Amino acid sequence: MSALYRKEIRTYFTTPLGYAFMAVFLAVSGCVFALTTYQAQTSDVSSYFQLMIFGYIVVVPLLTMRSFAEEKRSKTDQLLMSSPISERSMVLAKFFAALTMFAITVLLSCIYYLPLFGYGEPNVGRAFGCLIGMFLIGACFIAVGLFVSSLTDSSVTACVGTMGILAFLAGISVFNSLIDSYFVRTVLSWISVYSRYSNFAYGMFDIASAVYYVSITAVFVFLSIRVLERRRYA
Amino acid sequence: MIEVKNLVKNYGPKNALDDVSFTIEKGEVVGLLGPNGAGKSTAMNIITGCLSSTGGEVRIAGIDMFENPDDAKKLIGFLPEQPPLYQDMTVDEYLGFVFDLKKCTENKKEHLDGIKKTAKISEVSNRLIKNLSKGYRQRVGIAQALIGDPPIIIFDEPTVGLDPKQIIEIRNLIRNLGRNHTVILSTHILSEVQSVCDRVIIINEGKIVADERTDRISDAVKTGNRYTVKVCGPQRDTAAALREIQGITRVDSLGERDGDAYTFMIESAPGVDIRKPVFFAMSRLGKAIIGMESAQADLEDVFVRLTETVKGGKK
């Protein structure tokens, strides 16, 4: 597993993909950060984090689109399949590699906070809660991206498909106000990635939400493993 | 070394492999032959653990591939039809990755240097795989299969798309490997099998239609005695006259012309010598025979006949 993990990390840095991801992520987050803090003359970062979830919908698929789709297209999956490595290790190696890239980039974007200390007194605890939320939601989106990538042999399809699913997961709660049924509304807000995220943005460590994100991540990682196994057993 | 028992593979309603069984002993070089879509690649993918079977079992040195895949896979080096290369890696990076992936325990640098020398790719060690020529890529693919020195090596069409010189080099490499490895090789090229393999397994429509030593492959089909004869005179007349001779079961005009003589392939039932009757029949008609040669079935004939028979049988 570690061999594949190291190879994945290296691929992110030896192909334009890793840099494209970092550049787009930092550009988008930089703009959003500037608009929500400096422009709005506040040191409160919660609205930045709340808006960034929509940025992830665009950037996370860049990170995961190639994972399995490219292996299948270039037939390198046959090397993995004929090597003494299980499907579970394959998926986990790719998942953690993408998560590492994501974490590195999120940490880089923390530079944005520094100037805030010069202008005001930012709430460090709240920013920290937001970061944890960001990390969890990133893991969740990466798992979705891996799953979609395992379904197709085209990176572009994987990218667009992931964006669609992520937009659906994040956007569900938007329709809440249009729905009369209390029951449906409750269910929708329960499964919505966005409304779960709000608690982190207000600086609370919500254990239920954390469990929710970890579960969604686990489900999609599990589904990716099943897709790979099914390909072998098809 | 490799035991394949009653292997069945269905893709939906399509029967890709139908009750395929064979055993390959240690040190054998076996050629897997068959027309496109016969099930060669499917069989190889199942033996290497890339694909599961619908039924049957595969044992590698006694280890069941489906129950104990990790242990079984360590014993196999596999070069698929399209070499599984990461284009953005250099040759060294790639081989290093495969070394780690296969969890090899040898001294990494020494082992990889040896393999690069064997596959003759030392001079491209630091180049990106995407910048290599087809021949070099194929050799990097072969090098990849040799990592960890597995006792079994499986090549799926290793010489496709190479130039004649490279083909000879790779055949020599395979022949050398055959001295201390068990090798399975699939190919379309019959001469390759004849020059490299000890044994031939012919697959057609998912079934084994022949499994023979290469030097005895002509036994796989019951052919009669065959001769090519060169006879002077109009082609059509001669063919008709040949067909009337008792004992001849088949006359094919080969379309080769030498002056006013044409060449024919004639065949008789097994055990019947038709050379004399042909000579007398032709001399009665005043047609000179200027050449006659024995033509035993070669691998190409065997292949064409076996793959045709099954089709004919189905109709």
Average pLDDT of chain B to the nearest whole number: 86
Residues counted in chain B: 315
Q: Do A85 and B97 touch (CB under 8 A)?
A: no
Query: Nearest C-alpha of chain A: how many angstroms from B93?
Result: 9
What is the spatial distance between Cα B174 and Cα B176, in angstroms, rounded to a whole number?
5
What are A228's two structure tokens? 């790979």
Element (H, E) at A218: helix A207-233
Q: A200, A212 in Cβ contact below 8 A?
A: no
> Residue B312 has what pLDDT?
47
Average pLDDT of chain A to the nearest whole number: 87
What is the spatial distance between Cα A179 and Cα B182, in angstroms, rounded to a whole number?
68
93-152 in chain A: CB under 8 A from chain B: none
Question: pLDDT category, B163, cuts 50, 70, 90?
Answer: confident
Tens-place pLDDT, residues B16-30: 888 889 999 888 899
Percentage of chain B lying above the pLDDT 90 cut: 25
> Residue B135 has what pLDDT?
85
Per-residue pLDDT, averaged over A169-186, amounts to 78
Nearest to A78 among B84, B87, B102 (CB): B84
> Residue B51 has what pLDDT?
86
Which of A70-74, A77-81, B293-297 comes out lowest in average pLDDT?
Answer: B293-297
Q: Which residues in chain A touch residue B144, judged by CB atoms under 8 angstroms apart?
A: 79
Question: pLDDT category, B313, cuts 50, 70, 90?
Answer: very low
Q: Do A84 and B70 touch (CB under 8 A)?
A: yes
Percentage of chain B lying above the pLDDT 70 cut: 94
Q: B25 and chain A: CB distance < 8 Å anywhere?
A: no
Q: B19, B8 in Cβ contact below 8 A?
A: yes
Per-residue pLDDT, averaged over B153-182, amounts to 86
pLDDT at A224 over 60: yes
Question: pLDDT category, A98, cuts 50, 70, 90?
Answer: very high
Q: A19 and chain B: CB distance < 8 Å anywhere?
A: no
> Residue B218 has what pLDDT?
64
Which of A230-234, B33-37, B141-145, B164-168 comes out lowest in average pLDDT?
Answer: A230-234
Q: Do B101 and A81 touch (CB under 8 A)?
A: no
Question: pLDDT category, B314, cuts 50, 70, 90?
Answer: very low
Residue B51 amino acid letter: L
Q: A234 and chain B: CB distance < 8 Å anywhere?
A: yes
Per-residue pLDDT, averaged over B79-90, amounts to 92
Non-local CB neighbours of B83 within 8 Å, separated by 6+ positions:
B137, B138, B140, B141, B144
What is the spatial distance between Cα A220 and Cα A226, in angstroms, rounded to a whole number?
10
pLDDT at A179 over 70: yes
> Could you tell me which residue, A138 or B35, shows the higher pLDDT?
A138
Q: B74 and chain A: CB distance < 8 Å anywhere?
A: yes
Per-residue pLDDT, averaged over B150-170, amounts to 87
Q: A2 and chain B: CB distance < 8 Å anywhere?
A: yes
Per-residue pLDDT, averaged over B238-255, amounts to 86
Which of A43-57, A135-149, B69-83 comes out lowest in average pLDDT?
Answer: A43-57
Q: Do A74 and B100 touch (CB under 8 A)?
A: no
> Could you tell me which residue, B72 or A206, shows the higher pLDDT?
B72
Q: B50 and chain A: CB distance < 8 Å anywhere?
A: yes
Nearest CA in chain A to B70: A84
> Could you tell me which residue, B150 or B215, shows the higher pLDDT?
B150
Q: Do A3 and B85 touch (CB under 8 A)?
A: no
User: How, if at all, do strands B248-258 and B261-268 pair?
Assistant: antiparallel
Q: Do B88 and A2 touch (CB under 8 A)?
A: no
Question: pLDDT category, B162, cuts 50, 70, 90?
Answer: confident
> Could you tell me which residue, B240 or B308, shows the higher pLDDT?
B240
> Residue B222 has what pLDDT?
60
Q: A16 and chain B: CB distance < 8 Å anywhere?
A: no
> Residue B188 has what pLDDT?
76
Angle at B59 between CA B57 and CA B65, to 5 degrees: 75
Percentage of chain A lying above the pLDDT 90 cut: 43
> Could you tell me which residue, A1 or A102, shows the higher pLDDT?
A102
Per-residue pLDDT, averaged over B110-121, amounts to 91
> Residue A79 has what pLDDT?
92
Q: Which range has the top average pLDDT, A81-95, A125-139, A169-183, B201-215?
A: A81-95
* Mutation target vs A (from B71, B100, B147; most A CBs, 10 A cutoff): B100
103-122 in chain B: CB under 8 A from chain A: 103
Q: Do B102 and A83 touch (CB under 8 A)?
A: yes
Q: Do B86 and A15 touch (CB under 8 A)?
A: no
Using alpha carbons, select from B114, B107, B115, B39 the residue that is nearest to residue B77. Answer: B115
Per-residue pLDDT, averaged over B277-295, amounts to 88
pLDDT at B35 over 70: yes
User: How, if at all, do strands B14-24 and B2-11 pair?
Assistant: antiparallel
pLDDT at A138 over 50: yes
pLDDT at B152 over 90: yes
> Residue B315 has what pLDDT?
32
> Residue A73 has what pLDDT?
92
